[in-house]
Structure 1
Amino acid sequence: MVCAPVGWGDVLILRASGKDGYNEYLYKTLGESVNSVETILLDKRELANNTDILRKIRQAEAIFLAGGDQGNYVNFWQGTPVADALNERIREGAVMGGTSAGCGILGQTYFSALEGSVTSEEALANPYNKRVAMRRNDFLKQPLLVNTITDMHYSTRNRQGRHLAFMARAATDWAIQPRGIGVDEKTAVCVTPDGNVSVFGQGNAYFLQATKKKPELCKQNQPLTWHRKGKAVHVTIIAGSVEGITGFNLTSFQSITQAKSEYWSVDSGVLARVDLR
């Protein structure tokens, strides 16, 4: 997921593991539209106080958060000057995006992965499983992603069920009406400052909106039930393309063109989907 286009600036890739494989690819792909591309490995919490790194973050026009283990991002960056600098760039309108784990921490309500990953089966069987580690409003603060939980590798890893469990926890623990954005592999969700969304690539993007009613049963060691007559969560599905399909707006959280839509619900830990088109 990325927000807004980039032009004539410095691109900074931040990661908590891995190497600098994006540098050459992005520089060749973006060509003359950028001045530089650099990767910084922030794999220790003490590096989050480094003045040179903070300066580069504050000077970057575009910042991309790489994949890996999002628990590392939380452990190494949350509550540090790096997080402060990233939020400064968000407020100032810099482009920011991420892939996989880097996308997973973009929402203001998020799955931290501090206890490791979790499958849909595990999360639906017990939404308070210790692996369903949820946090809110303590890391990145992108206004377009208030109360929004992102999830990635969506269809390939069958993550629809755990996404509903994350949203059920948010609705139960914080009394909010949560939203979700799910992204298939080889797919990009690109957002302009006014909230308009274009979906690029080979898969789909899924925009989830919970109803105003909380789950009927969301408790420790009990299977999740969030049924609401089969209409617990409304889902808009936008297919990607090479040119990009503009079909949704995050500000209104509604489709702006004809799009496939479904209702998703959970009954005793079992996910159900009803196609509306």
Structure 2
Amino acid sequence: MFHIPLRLVTCLTASLALLAPTLVAAESAHAAAKRIRLGSSADVSRGSWSGPAYTMNGSGAVVPATMTRAIDAIRGGTGTLDVVVIAASAPGSGSTTPECDTVMGLAGVNSCTTWTLTTRNDGNNSAANSDIRNAEFVYFAGGDQCDYADWKGTALQNSVKSVVAKGGGSGGGSAGHHINSAVVYDACGGSVTTDEALYDPYDPAITFTTGMFSWPNYAGTINDSHFVTRDRMGRTMAFVARAIEDGLTTGGAAWGVGVDDGGSLFIDKNGLATAAGADTFVVLGDHRPEQADPDRYLTYDDYKIWRLRPGGTYDFKNRPTCGYYLRSVVDGIPDRDLYNGTPVTNCG
């Protein structure tokens, strides 16, 4: 993801008046943080929730189909819940709350609050963390995942974890998709293309953050976004090889999870993922790369790839051992047609 200018949040337009928005200035110690709340001014009070549930989106926007499933799963089909959207920058044009605009149109939502947090210190903003802890779903907006990775070690990290721990959920789109994986391609050294990553899996632009979030049933994953649209299969292959070679995952395996533009992966509390909107790809590397060294082309034999068309599923709790097709990279050159293949059925 590219770095983009940090945004300033303005007052809501009169057209949102029926949703009773409030704009609250953050405490003076964190003057850069801004808050806009839509819907009820009071949080839902309830003893238990039925999640966790997650949405992993290939582009930044909320996908109503999977967000509705997450909301229904968390509230158990009854009552309402509160959502917090976290952004490190504001949209370049249009609404100042695009994610909450969509969320407030869905059933089962009591409120949606957008927090724009532009510095690392904002991760310790007490008002923002109070809203997060009181919410039942946290959505990371698109932007730059390096900004989100910078909040590792702040109160925000634990606040988001507490939402999942109480049976709520987490998710995001584009950069927000990246930050929700176990190993985060953080793009703090800049964005990398497929060709660059395959030619040198230790390209300076390939940097990772670990230990941010470790969601149940989602261990060993590296998310990638805009997957087919920006031809990112090859770079995900490089990420997977690096994660194994550098011991960023356990058991000598790593799973890339690539979601295309307009696509979304809903994951329930049992780890069952269902694709919606566009294709999702799960890319498994289950052995050390044949060659992965600085300034040398990547060589890796037999990645196992599952292509999930809308409605397709993948069980992250009991990870499948069949149904994949195989693709390899030799001296930085990948097999043809990385996005299609005949699934292996005799998996032995």
> TM-score scaled to structure 1, two decimals?
0.89
**Cα distance in 1, alignment partners of residues 101 and 70 from structure 2:** 19
Identity %: 28
* 1:114 matched residue in structure 2: 188
Residue 184 (structure 1) aligned to one of 224, 239, 260: 260
Partner of 2:197, secondary structure, is helix
1:150 counterpart = 2:216: no
* 1:166 matched residue in structure 2: 239
* 1:72 matched residue in structure 2: 147
- Rg larger in 1 or in 2? 2
Contact in 1 for aligned 2:197/2:238 (Cα 8 Å): yes
* 1:236 matched residue in structure 2: 306
Per-residue Cα deviation, 1:86-122 (whole angstroms, up to 9, x for no partner): 1122222211111000001111112111111100010
Which amino acid is 1:57 matched to? I
Which amino acid is 1:74 matched to? A
**Cα distance in 1, alignment partners of residues 326 and 207 from structure 2:** 25
Which amino acid is 1:226 matched to? Y
Q: Which has the higher contact order (CA 8 A, sep 6+)?
A: 2
* 1:15 matched residue in structure 2: 87
Which amino acid is 1:264 matched to? R
Which amino acid is 2:70 matched to? P
* 2:62 matched residue in structure 1: none
Residue 88 (structure 1) aligned to one of 155, 162, 165: 162
* 1:43 matched residue in structure 2: 118
**Cα distance in 2, alignment partners of residues 103 and 62 from structure 1:** 14
1:210 counterpart = 2:285: yes
Which amino acid is 2:289 matched to? P
Of stretches 1-10 and 33-42 in structure 1, the one that deviates more from structure 2 is 1-10
Residue 271 (structure 2) aligned to one of 195, 212, 225: 195
Aligned-residue Cα RMSD (Å) equals: 1.8
Of stretches 149-158 and 5-14 in structure 1, the one that deviates more from structure 2 is 5-14
Which amino acid is 2:308 matched to? I
**Cα distance in 2, alignment partners of residues 50 and 86 from structure 1:** 13
* 1:267 matched residue in structure 2: 330
* 2:101 matched residue in structure 1: 24
Partner of 2:293, secondary structure, is coil
Partner of 2:184, secondary structure, is strand
**Cα distance in 1, alignment partners of residues 246 and 125 from structure 2:** 36
Contact in 2 for aligned 1:197/1:247 (Cα 8 Å): yes
Contact in 1 for aligned 2:275/2:308 (Cα 8 Å): yes
Of stretches 18-27 and 48-57 in structure 1, the one that deviates more from structure 2 is 18-27
Contact in 2 for aligned 1:71/1:116 (Cα 8 Å): no
Contact in 2 for aligned 1:236/1:255 (Cα 8 Å): no
Which one has a larger percent strand, Structure 1 or Structure 2?
1
> Matched residue pairs, number?
260
**Cα distance in 1, alignment partners of residues 246 and 101 from structure 2:** 44
Partner of 1:251, secondary structure, is coil
**Cα distance in 2, alignment partners of residues 100 and 122 from structure 1:** 20
**Cα distance in 2, alignment partners of residues 222 and 149 from structure 1:** 22
CA deviation after TM superposition for structure 1 residue 246, in Å:
4.6
**Cα distance in 2, alignment partners of residues 21 and 42 from structure 1:** 16
> TM-score scaled to structure 2, two decimals?
0.71
Contact in 1 for aligned 2:216/2:271 (Cα 8 Å): no
